[in-house]
Amino acid sequence: MNSASISSEQLVFLPGNPQISVVLRRSRRSKRLSLRISRIKGLVTLSLPISCPLTQAKSFLIEKEPWIRKNLIALPTNIQVCVGTQLLYRGNKFTIRMGQGKKVIPEVSNLIVPGPQSMISSRTKVFLKLQARQALRASTDFYAEALGRPYGKLTLRDTISRWGSCSSAGNINYSWRLIMAPSDVLNYVCAHEAAHLVEMNHSPKFWSVVEQLFPNYDQQRNWLKVNGENLHSYKF
């Protein structure tokens, strides 16, 4: 097949048990074949130069198949949220129990979620997002006020690549899953994004602002690096 007829992105399959789907992504910026596996979604992507023949890409995948399968097996296991699930909330594990009434209630080491069972997952998610909005709003207000810099909109999303972001207009986005992390980790992310209201970069000046707002932040930053992907393993 002529490489000119191949689309910029296409799906190919490695046979075997199980069959593995691989996204081929052609880019003018790619100078060589580059293989990547998303630890969150388990998506296998092969980036390759525009001119690379499809046969070469497939041969490369066959050569790397043992590595691909080994890394897919090592991916974190997805956890379906339901009655009996141990869920992280503010850095602690809570076991989901079905209860009565209308509100989700944290109780010692249990999270009491009103039934029916078919609604446990969605009601838990709504609870987490509500708690996240309150905690992230309060923390962001605190650090923005400390800097004397107002911010714009605060938006919650289920982002994968970033825990937070700040636009040039001062709008701040967060992953609502931060409510599962310890409170000091959530506060570090808020300090980080508030610092962007002063420095829209990651220069030494930016990190000095973060240090001013949240001294000795390395432990919280490392917690996200080590444990962050576990927060994405919960499926609602």
Query: Does residue 5 register a pLDDT over 60?
Result: no
Note whether 33 and 60 are within 8 A (CB): yes
Instruction: Give residue 39's pLDDT.
Output: 75
Query: Does residue 108 register a pLDDT over 70?
Result: yes
Instruction: Give residue 63's pLDDT.
Output: 94
Distance CA 82, CA 22 (A): 31
Q: Domain map of the chain by residue range?
A: 3-73, 80-235
- Residue 175 CB neighbour total at 10 angstroms: 24
Q: What is the pLDDT of residues 131-154, one digit of tens each?
A: 999 999 999 999 999 999 999 999
| Token pair belonging to 202 | 């990651």
Q: How far apart are the first and last CA of the chain?
A: 42
CATH superfamily for 80-235 is Metalloproteases ("zincins"), catalytic domain (3.30.2010.10)
41 pLDDT tier (thresholds 50, 70, 90)? confident
- Residue 15 CB neighbour total at 10 angstroms: 9
Query: Does residue 6 register a pLDDT over 50?
Result: no
Q: Which residues lie below 8 Å from residue 33, measured CB to CB, with a gap of 6+?
A: 46, 47, 48, 52, 56, 57, 60
2 pLDDT tier (thresholds 50, 70, 90)? very low
Instruction: Give residue 127's pLDDT.
Output: 98
Instruction: Give residue 219's pLDDT.
Output: 98
Instruction: Give residue 61's pLDDT.
Output: 95
- What value does the mean pLDDT of the chain take? 93
Query: Does residue 221 register a pLDDT over 60?
Result: yes
Query: Does residue 174 register a pLDDT over 80?
Result: yes
